[in-house]
Amino acid sequence: MAAPTRPTRPSVTPSHRAPVVDRRPKANFETWSWYFMRVSGLVLIFLSLLHFSITHIINDVVETDAEFVANRWSNPLWRLYDWMLLTLALFHGLNGVRWIIEDYVRSPAKRAATKAVTYGVSFALFAYGTLVIVSYSS
């Protein structure tokens, strides 16, 4: 018995083909926020776990008093470490909360209000925390 033949397609010369279109959506804010969560998250695994280990496990929490802070912030590299932890953790967390708000707060008015409060508090505390780390002197 003869092998079944494939259905033939009308031959199309390349000049008649539809132009190849890149159908991937353009990178927008959400694309960058997605990348930011992954990159900042990887850095934060190191920064946050080491920070917690130093302040709660290697030292007892009651030992991390004002004198402890003075010693630590006498080194600008520790200030940089703490500022990076502050910045990455705050914006990683803020973006996560933004996703949570967009998932659960459906009414446009309530969503706008929730975002306004969340962003307002976060940006204010980021600015204040930065000011403290930069301007601190014992």
Partner 1 sequence: MSPAAPTVYKGKSGQWSFIAHRVTGFLVFMFLLLHIVDVSLVNIDPDLYDSVHALYGNILLRLFECGLWFALLFHSMNGLRIVLVDFFPGVIRREKMLTGMVVFVTLAAGIPGSLVILWPFIEGRIL
Q: Which residues bind partner 1 (CB under 8 A)?
A: 38, 41-42, 44-45, 48-49, 52-53, 56-57, 60-62, 64-66, 69-70, 86, 89-90, 93-94, 96-97, 100, 121-122, 125-126, 128-129, 132, 135-136, 138
Q: Which is nearer to partner 1, 110 or 136 (CB)?
A: 136
Distant-in-sequence, close-in-space partners of 67: CB < 8 Å, separation ≥ 6: none
Rg (CA), the chain: 26
Nearest distance, CB of residue 113 and partner 1, angstroms: 18
Phi then psi for residue 31, to 5 deg, are: -60, -45
Nearest distance, CB of residue 23 and partner 1, angstroms: 19
Q: Which is nearer to partner 1, 107 or 138 (CB)?
A: 138
Q: Which is nearer to partner 1, 49 or 112 (CB)?
A: 49
Measure the CA–CA gap between 121 and 94, rounded to whole angstroms.
10
Nearest distance, CB of residue 112 and partner 1, angstroms: 20
The residue whose two tokens read 């949570």 is 100
Closest CA to 97 of 83, 118, 82: 118
Nearest distance, CB of residue 52 and partner 1, angstroms: 6
- Amino acid code (one letter) for 32: W
